[in-house]
Structure 1
Amino acid sequence: MVVNIANATSVSIALPSMGKDLNIPEQRLQWPVSAYSLSSGCFLLLFGRLADLYGRKKVFIMGSLFLTVFSLGLGFANDEVTIDILRGFQGIGTAATIPSAIGILAHAFPPSNMRSIAFSTFSAGAPTGAALGLVLGGILTQESKQTWRATFYLSTGLSAACLILGLLSIDPDLPSTEIDRRTDWLGAVLVTAGLVLVVFVLSDGEIVGWSTSYIVALLVVGVVFLVLFVLWERYLERVQQSPHAVYSKWTPPPLMKPSIWSRANGRFAAMMTIGFLNWSAFLSWLFWVQLYYQDYLQLSPIHTMLRMLPMQFSGIFCNLVAAFVMGRISLVNIVVFGTIFTGSAGLLFALINTSSTYWAFGFPAAVISVFGADFVFAAGTIFVAKVALPHEQSLAGALFQTMTQIGTSFGLAITTIVFDKIVARDSLRLGHAINASDTTAPRAAQLTGYRAAQWTVVGFGFFSALLAAIFLRGVGVVGHPNKDQHETEDKEEERNQRDAVERNGEKSLSGSP
């Protein structure tokens, strides 16, 4: 988790230097961030399923190796296109490591107080990684001879450390409990291609124009692929559940059971949507705040890093709190509290007075911005692990991660649209006809654009809080405050697993030679 977040924050703080060195215009500076989120989000489902089927340690080690190789390659890139492509391949490594890590933790720690502590510790990797990425990224970018390239050398070292530690410390994989262990490759192709196309359109549509022919075409094709994926998965699930199903090589178990979204009376889907919106808010806030400090206030990477540093300490504190309150406070209270604070961080920058001291707006925003990300991630991963069957742990974690990663790309796309339109409008009003996001825009127009982007963040954050208040009521405590509850849920989980195995076994035996 530290490596995953450090890969995002260290590159974010190096974006202005990278843009100047490689002549990347500001409106395309989101691509080194979006390319990473695109691939890591779009391949999560496939690798989550592969981890559940063939071994979580195997997939984790493979992903760490991928991260190491392509992080090193990024340190030698010399143009914008190469940066974007290699960042995409780097994200595939994260798509393998994160869901397999969630599955490893879910099986290593059965429902108990220790599971809450384990997942909160895992979640604490986010602010720790953000601090590491911001501090070392800012220092390396400004002080080292390699400038922004040094951030990728940092990522290479961290990924290599994960690879070695994973080989030494993670227990060997146990065989999957599923009888039918085939992979739904058609579903994997449909969902991966569909997500890649849709997220690409979100990232590139504002740059080239939404009416551009290939943008329209790719959006239509991407949506069609996603619709076909849902229909195909629904068909496979019905076949698997039918008592009269006959074994066929053409009908493997679904990559993702559509029914998983309706579990816990639809609250599983609600949590996924909240994660999507919360990450739309948090990562967009982080992106625009760093550009505001460096491009509008003309601060150095190190001075920008120092202004963002309080959020890392606040994040670690949030996860320490989450570890001990998860078994005492209801899920709805934790999530609503966190998402309101993340939205409020955007509100502070939407109302910011540029002549005021950092302590008036910047400091409190940095402190409270992480509450939503850390509370939603820690509580959300525990909730989905609780709802999922034992052989679905990595897949359920992958679904949650997919929604947060796609939320990142969605948030960046929407806030970029808002920023561009407002800057272009206000520049024209001031007598400067420019292309949106042009750094030569009048400072007044730029400031209005930054504020408008942050108002959009406010909308994402507060809407996710509203959804939590409405749909997560009645969930109760997701941690495990007492031994009896622990034992009861252990037995229920074992019974669900046994029933699923028996159903799969009966279907396979009834139709197989």
Structure 2
Amino acid sequence: MTASYGLTLGMFLIASGRLGDLYGPKLLWLLGTGLMAIFNLGTGFCQSRIPFDLCRALAGIGAALAVPNAVAILGRTYPPGSTRSLIFAIFGALAPVGFMVGGAVAALLAQTTSVIWIWFFTAILAAVILVLGIFVLPPDANLAPASARRSFDYVGTLLLIVALGLFNFTWNQGPVVAWSAPYVWSLLLVSMLAFVALYFWEKRLGTHALIPTEVLSRTSLLVYLCLWLGWMSFGVFLFYTTLFIRNVRGVDTALGLTAQLIPVTPTGVICALAVPTLLTRFPGHQIFFVSMVAFLVGDVMGAVAPVHGYWSVTFPSLILVILGPDLSYSTGQLIVSNSVDRQFQGTAGGIVSMITNYSLSIGLGMAGTVEAYVVPNGPVLKGYRTAFYFGSGLAALAVVVVGLFVRMPKMTQYRE
């Protein structure tokens, strides 16, 4: 039930970024924000599971349309340089703020009124932002010619949706019904075949592909890989830290959980805003290395946290681990945005956003599988620690990749 939003969000991010490149990022952003307003409102009126899942899935499509095109609007409006760096840093800083403010508002509404007001509040907020965007955002300009719009890669889009959807479903369904179920590994095989078919199809189309080769340079691919590994480990840390605080330490109220996770917000904001300055003083791969080490340290600290040790272990782990997502996301967006032409800003932003959102869910599915098979019907605490160690392994692999293969120049060496 809770996965439908994240699933459609991850599946449609790249396609919506490409559509924004062709038809205009503002148009796609307005459409996406409108869908979020409509289907969050619809979620509040749902009385059964199927309509709820459908509304959450459609709201996820709305978010998928809005996120990469917001990045594209920024990339098109501000040329490479210090101003763009600052704008992307502010954009990245809004993530931890939104995480904590949104969580606090949701917890407050759930405990003081009714849970349905979470969706009503979100719908109202989206509607207000939509109206402001109509008047504030710059109009779309320099759009692709009509011939390019007619050649949108529908086949590639379908293959990508099938591949991502089935891959996500199988990794999250496997721990629930056991991997011995024939349909689980069969669908996983189908998803892998869809990925292979997508590769050859995109290679055949060239510049008209859903994922053009211009956004798949060696530097970009290494950035994507590191983001994938790091954010999978972060999803494991965040999910299992919440479970640990709730089920092991007994903090079972929404406001109590939100309060214990507060440390991620100020640290995250500081990190995101520091990225422009850091990029002018240090090579990008050094910042990336620090972010991957932060992912690793966070999961290791989660694995060894004592049952009664919030201030000694959990509190510092929350401060340290947030260096990972906020340094890596802002740095990754800047590096990829600066390495592609203006016409591919939406596609590049879609890929980075897809990786950071989609990998969270995949990491949880993999961690759940490890937990289910290593500690079958075992103590809850031991299962949580096993998942943390798995997340540590993902982050450690990212550290190795960055240390050995990733090399990025200082921002001053990018084209102006």
Is TM-score (shorter-chain normalized) higher than 0.5? yes
Percent identity, aligned pairs only? Answer: 26
Deviation at 1:259, TM superposition (A): 5.8
For residues 324-335 of structure 1, what are the structure 2 equivalents within 5 Å? 324-335=277-288
Deviation at 1:226, TM superposition (A): 2.0
- Report the counterpart of residue 31 of structure 2 in structure 1: 62
| CA distance in structure 2 between the aligned counterparts of 1:301 and 1:130, rounded to whole angstroms | 14
Corresponding residue to 2:316 among 346, 352, 364 = 364
2:188 is the alignment partner of 1:233? no
For residues 184-199 of structure 1, what are the structure 2 equivalents within 5 Å? 184-199=153-168
- Report the counterpart of residue 340 of structure 1 in structure 2: 293
- Report the counterpart of residue 353 of structure 1 in structure 2: 306
| CA distance in structure 1 between the aligned counterparts of 2:183 and 2:369, rounded to whole angstroms | 18
| CA distance in structure 2 between the aligned counterparts of 1:424 and 1:84, rounded to whole angstroms | 29
Q: TM-score, normalised by structure 1?
A: 0.77
- Report the counterpart of residue 119 of structure 1 in structure 2: 88
Corresponding residue to 1:476 among 384, 409, 412 = 409
Q: Which moved more, 1:211-220 or 1:89-98?
A: 211-220
Amino acid at match of 1:138: A
| CA distance in structure 2 between the aligned counterparts of 1:348 and 1:79, rounded to whole angstroms | 40
Q: Which moved more, 1:118-127 or 1:461-470?
A: 461-470
Corresponding residue to 2:113 among 145, 164, 177 = 145
For residues 71-470 of structure 1, what are the structure 2 equivalents within 5 Å? 71-141=40-110, 143-146=111-114, 148-177=115-144, 180-181=148-149, 182-237=151-206, 253-258=208-213, 260-261=215-216, 263=217, 266-299=218-251, 300-356=253-309, 358-424=310-376, 426=378, 445-470=379-404
| CA distance in structure 2 between the aligned counterparts of 1:151 and 1:342, rounded to whole angstroms | 30
| CA distance in structure 1 between the aligned counterparts of 2:141 and 2:100, rounded to whole angstroms | 35
Deviation at 1:275, TM superposition (A): 0.9
- Report the counterpart of residue 47 of structure 1 in structure 2: 16
| CA distance in structure 2 between the aligned counterparts of 1:287 and 1:159, rounded to whole angstroms | 26
Amino acid at match of 1:145: T
| CA distance in structure 2 between the aligned counterparts of 1:456 and 1:153, rounded to whole angstroms | 37
| CA distance in structure 2 between the aligned counterparts of 1:331 and 1:80, rounded to whole angstroms | 45
Unaligned runs of 5+ in 2: none
- Report the counterpart of residue 438 of structure 1 in structure 2: none
Amino acid at match of 1:318: C
Q: 4+ runs of 1 displaced by more than 4 Å?
A: none
- Report the counterpart of residue 433 of structure 1 in structure 2: none
Q: Which moved more, 1:81-90 or 1:280-289?
A: 81-90
Q: Please tell me whether Structure 1 or Structure 2 has the larger radius of gyration of its CA atoms.
A: 1
Q: Secondary structure in 1 aligned to 2:142? A: coil
Deviation at 1:298, TM superposition (A): 2.2
- Report the counterpart of residue 9 of structure 1 in structure 2: none
Q: Secondary structure in 2 aligned to 1:211? A: coil
Unaligned runs of 5+ in 1: 1-30, 241-252, 427-444, 491-513
Deviation at 1:63, TM superposition (A): 0.3
| CA distance in structure 2 between the aligned counterparts of 1:368 and 1:160, rounded to whole angstroms | 35
| CA distance in structure 2 between the aligned counterparts of 1:173 and 1:260, rounded to whole angstroms | 22
Structure having the larger proportion of residues in helix: 2
| CA distance in structure 1 between the aligned counterparts of 2:400 and 2:93, rounded to whole angstroms | 25
Deviation at 1:258, TM superposition (A): 4.0
| CA distance in structure 2 between the aligned counterparts of 1:414 and 1:189, rounded to whole angstroms | 25
Deviation at 1:139, TM superposition (A): 2.0
| CA distance in structure 2 between the aligned counterparts of 1:327 and 1:155, rounded to whole angstroms | 37
Deviation at 1:78, TM superposition (A): 3.1
| CA distance in structure 1 between the aligned counterparts of 2:138 and 2:265, rounded to whole angstroms | 30
**How much is the aligned-residue C-alpha RMSD, in angstroms?**
1.8
Deviations 1:127-152 (A, max 9, x none): 011111222122222x2231x33322
Contact 1:113 1:327 in 2 (8 A): no
| CA distance in structure 2 between the aligned counterparts of 1:297 and 1:134, rounded to whole angstroms | 20
Contact 2:291 2:325 in 1 (8 A): yes
Report the CA distance shift for 1:85/1:292 in structure 2 as closer, same or farther (over 3 A). farther
Contact 1:44 1:402 in 2 (8 A): yes
Q: Secondary structure in 2 aligned to 1:203? A: helix
Report the CA distance shift for 1:150/1:323 in structure 2 as closer, same or farther (over 3 A). farther
Q: TM-score, normalised by structure 2?
A: 0.94
Contact 2:249 2:308 in 1 (8 A): no
Deviations 1:234-291 (A, max 9, x none): 1111xx6xxxxxxxxxxxx211124632x2xx12111001111111011221111112
| CA distance in structure 2 between the aligned counterparts of 1:218 and 1:174, rounded to whole angstroms | 42
For this pair of structures, how many residues does the alignment match? 413
- Report the counterpart of residue 15 of structure 1 in structure 2: none
| CA distance in structure 2 between the aligned counterparts of 1:455 and 1:377, rounded to whole angstroms | 23
Contact 1:284 1:411 in 2 (8 A): yes
Deviation at 1:319, TM superposition (A): 1.2
